[in-house]
Structure 1
């Protein structure tokens, strides 16, 4: 498992990410199914969203890929997103956007991808 480092280079045990209740676990599972086995979930946030006619939530998912082959999986995820139709029971995925990508090569190739998904409530 990848470990984060503090500013002084000391290894820090990875924090466990808790996924909230409701649609959040379904969103994360759906993204991870497309992201591939080498994807590591770094963060998930959910923020309520509403317009005049719709309500739902905006989900932010951050994934990390470590190693050359894993980063290839991350690039494949980015390429697949425009044509992929997510299935999240109880919601309609109205939009998926790649908000940010960060890539480093040394000391080991790492790709971090931040996605934002807009889910509309069904019902």
Structure 2
């Protein structure tokens, strides 16, 4: 059984200054869902369009290192498909876990690859 994310301690984080773009807001939302325990190892963004919609496809590689972080990562995996993202002028049309790698030694570690499709919301 997964712990309630509200009970997981959150690591301290530096205050971000300046304007945040959509990618920054997406990373912040992902970190929020990960209870602040994920390290974003990479983030790739590509433009995406259909006949009726325009947006961006994002692929993030997340690392959860340590027992508490792995627990937060397991919660992240369980909650991502139904998570309600709050990103101004963007609709998260799809959010999927595409790869998971779990290791126990030398310390608990969870690597998670996610893909998200953001559509511009007029």
Please, what TM-score do these two structures have when normalized by structure 2?
0.79
- 1:122 is matched with 121
Structure 2 residue matching 1:102: 3-state secondary structure: strand
- Aligned residue pairs, count: 103
Q: CA RMSD in A?
A: 1.2
- 1:55 is matched with 54
Structural mapping, 1:61-72, within 5 Å: 61-72=60-71
Structure 2 residue matching 1:118: 3-state secondary structure: strand
Are residues 1:32 and 2:28 paired? no
Structural mapping, 1:1-123, within 5 Å: 22-123=21-122
Structure 1 residue matching 2:52: 3-state secondary structure: coil
C-alpha separation between the residues in 1 aligned to 2:81 and 2:96? Answer: 9
C-alpha separation between the residues in 2 aligned to 1:98 and 1:83? Answer: 12
C-alpha separation between the residues in 2 aligned to 1:25 and 1:81? Answer: 18
Please, what TM-score do these two structures have when normalized by structure 1?
0.79
User: Deviating runs (4+, > 3 A) in structure 1?
Assistant: none
Q: Deviations over 1:80-119 (max 9, x none)?
A: 1122111111211101000111111111111011111100
C-alpha separation between the residues in 2 aligned to 1:23 and 1:104? Answer: 32
